[in-house]
Amino acid sequence: MSGSAEIPFSEMARQSSVQVSLPHLPGSNFNSPIFLTDLFNIIFKKLQPLFSIDCGVILIYDEQLTVIKEAYIATYQSDSGQTNAEVLNQPSELTAIQKGIAEFCFPVIKSMEEWIQEENVNHCLVNGETHYTHHCYIPLEVNNQVLGTLELHNNVRELGAECLTFCCGIADLLAEIIFLQRTTPASQNLNGSTIINVKIQQDNNSCKPEVVPNPDLLLKLAAQAPALSEITELGEFISQAAKLFLFDYEKIKTQLDEIDTYKKQLENEKLYLHEDTRPTGHYPEIIGEGQGMKKVFGLLDQVAGSESTVLILGETGTGKELIARAIHEGSARKDKAMVKVNCAAIPENLIESELFGHEKGAFTGATDRRIGKFELADNGTLFLDEIGELPLILQVKLLRVLQEKEIERVGGKATIKTDVRIISATNKNLLAEVEKGRFRRDLYYRLHVFPVSLPSLRERAEDIPLLATHFLAKYAHKAGKQLAGFTRGAIQQMSNYSWPGNVREMEHLIERQVLLSKKTVISVIDLPTKEKTITDNDGVRQKIKTIDENERDHIFAVLQICKGRISGPEGAAKLLGVPATTLNSKIKRLGLSKKHF
């Protein structure tokens, strides 16, 4: 880089000062670039594996925001897995793009495409690199004065809101260190003690410190740098470093709490791996290994080989037809047909003909003889789905067929013997229907010989991961996509959902997710949501907002008033009574961005 001559920190922005002395610790020249380089390298090593950051840059400006006085660069080498740090301390004037970055008053995320669209070029780093695709810029600000910028760059993925939220806390820590360096330049005096110049301001002819930094904090941090470098846990590292800065510790402590939250989110984003997604047991078409389904499998083992009539009970979408087919496949009739009739899908005036058949000319439109479902299922199984929807008049005829094991075609005179096993299913409470007079009691007891109750999906939540991975593999194969699976967060999201449509709803939802997915791992499930409303005193339906929605609207309104400014005496953070870092975190969490205001 080229530009004006180097200006040492000791000559920067001095106002009236007072001198205090502090014992000098050997080897702890905290005003040298080496100290901040080493410290930034230590921090970068801890951040890189957590957020996959490829490059981090600290830019330190002059007070007029016209010159980059120093730049600290840490990069990750993917081939070796090592991090490298360097310092560029030859001052240079800010370019137009760098000037715009220096004027950011809150964190900004930009992509290569956005830079090219706005400036016709990608952002060029201070060391000349231009190949990074995702960029993040966080101002280093103390007392409403911008000291520099923390830049984060990545190639693999966009730096998300969680990374930005946490790194804002790191930026605060770095800003405090830079501020202490700027306001407490060290020099060695004749008797071996360190002279510290503390920045002060005149107030009513008295010396009142604007900030009273503790000068030995940097000495302690420099002395502890080797030990900090050996710490492997990021939380412990930040905790030990931040505790030196007691006036700033509460701010950093908030970020430490967010580490735990983010670690849990990272755990959620890990790929969910089930030990074996292949169905096992005697019923390979039925997915489930929880206690609820084990009980069902036990009932199937008992009834499949018999000739008993079976009534399958369960909510819509629980897989009643699949159970019926499993019973048929486990019986001696498996080589014959299983004929299905949906009693709810056939018009009332045609259902008798559908079940029993009709002769030619039996009614208008009966131009040919038709074989009914009972005849088609002879020596096999007849599955009567939605039996609760059968009209009462047909219930009488069905009861006779079950008792006599013979039928008469509509318009015919001859009786036809049938050998059919009946499996019926319903999502209704048939006993309640009997009490209401909508279902015949004698038919109910004819069908209710061996009931099999299927649990709803919300009652067998332990099977949700297995079902989800099964459907993912099925529809990924159909769509010709290579999908690795779900994140733990997506599995948890599905486990917390009530699934009113049960397994059928899950199957269709995952089919849609497969078609919409642009990544190899599905991390978010687009579950349906219900808008909550209430009727007010005037009879008008009003939407009920969540706490987050109300908070978002309020923050949005204040940001508009403040014209997007977050920090400072006229910033939104001051009006809302929260730290700027907290407000930044809320802005990202609630989905607000600079373009909104």
What are the residues whose beta carbons fall under 8 Å from the beta carbon of 106, sequence distance 6 or more? 139, 564, 565, 566, 567, 580, 584, 587, 594
Q: On the CB side of 490, how many CA atoms lie within 13 Å of its CA?
A: 22
Q: Which two tokens stand for residue 445?
A: 């007891």
**H or E element, residue 141:** strand 134-142
* Domains, the chain, ordered by start: 9-265 (3.30.450.40), 300-453 (3.40.50.300), 459-522 (1.10.8.60), 535-596 (1.10.10)
Query: What's the pLDDT at 221?
Result: 60
DSSP single-letter state for residue 16: S
3-state SS class at 413: coil
* Alpha carbon 493 to its chain's center: 8
How many whole angstroms separate alpha carbon 65 and alpha carbon 87?
19
Q: 109-126 burial string, b = 16+ CB within 10 Å, else e?
A: bbebeebeeeeeebbebb
The two three-digit tokens of residue 223, written as one number = 């002395």
Describe the crossing of helices 580-589 and 547-561 by its angle, rounded to 10 degrees: 120
What one-character-per-residue DSSP string does 100-129 give?
Answer: HHHT-SS-EEEEHHHHHHHHSSPPPPTTS-
User: What is the per-residue pLDDT for 426?
Assistant: 95
Least Cα distance to 217 among 22, 398, 377, 390 occurs for: 22
Q: How far apart are CA 473 and CA 469, in angstroms?
A: 6
- DSSP lists the bridge partners of residue 311 as 424, 451
The percent helix, strand, coil of the chain (3-state, each to 5) is 40, 20, 40
In this predicted structure, what is the pLDDT of residue 277?
A: 44
Q: Please report the DSSP string for 353-378 in residue order.
A: HHHHEE-TTSSTT--S-EE-HHHHTT
CA nearest neighbour of 168 among 111, 105, 101: 105
Phi/psi of residue 335, each to 5°? -85, -5
Residue 508 in tokens = 């269709």
The values of phi and psi at residue 74, to 5°, are -125, 130
**pTM higher than 0.85, yes or no?**
no
Question: For residue 17, what are its two tokens?
Answer: 């000062």
Residue 493 in contact with residue 510, Cβ under 8 Å? Answer: no
Per-residue pLDDT of the chain (597 residues; tens, 9 = 90+): 333 333 332 332 233 233 322 233 333 344 445 567 777 877 787 777 777 788 999 999 988 889 998 898 988 887 777 888 888 878 889 888 888 888 888 888 888 888 888 888 888 888 788 888 889 899 998 888 889 999 999 887 777 766 777 788 788 878 877 887 777 654 433 233 333 333 333 344 433 334 444 555 556 665 665 666 666 565 566 666 555 554 455 555 565 566 566 556 655 556 665 544 444 457 888 988 889 999 999 999 999 999 999 999 999 999 999 999 999 999 999 999 999 999 988 888 888 888 998 888 888 877 888 888 999 999 999 999 999 999 998 999 999 999 999 988 888 888 899 999 999 999 999 999 999 999 999 999 999 999 999 999 999 989 999 999 999 999 999 999 888 889 888 888 898 888 999 999 999 999 999 998 888 888 888 888 765 666 666 656 566 777 877 888 888 888 888 877 888 888 888 888 888 888 887 887 777 765 555
On whether the CB atoms of residues 314 and 427 are closer than 8 A, the answer is yes
Quick one: CA dihedral 252, 228, 188, 92, positive or negative?
negative
- H/E segment holding residue 479: helix 464-479
Q: Which residue has the tokens 């005849």?
A: 375
**Checking DSSP bridges between strand 82-88 and strand 186-188, what pairing results, if any?**
unpaired
Which token pair is 519?
Answer: 């990544």
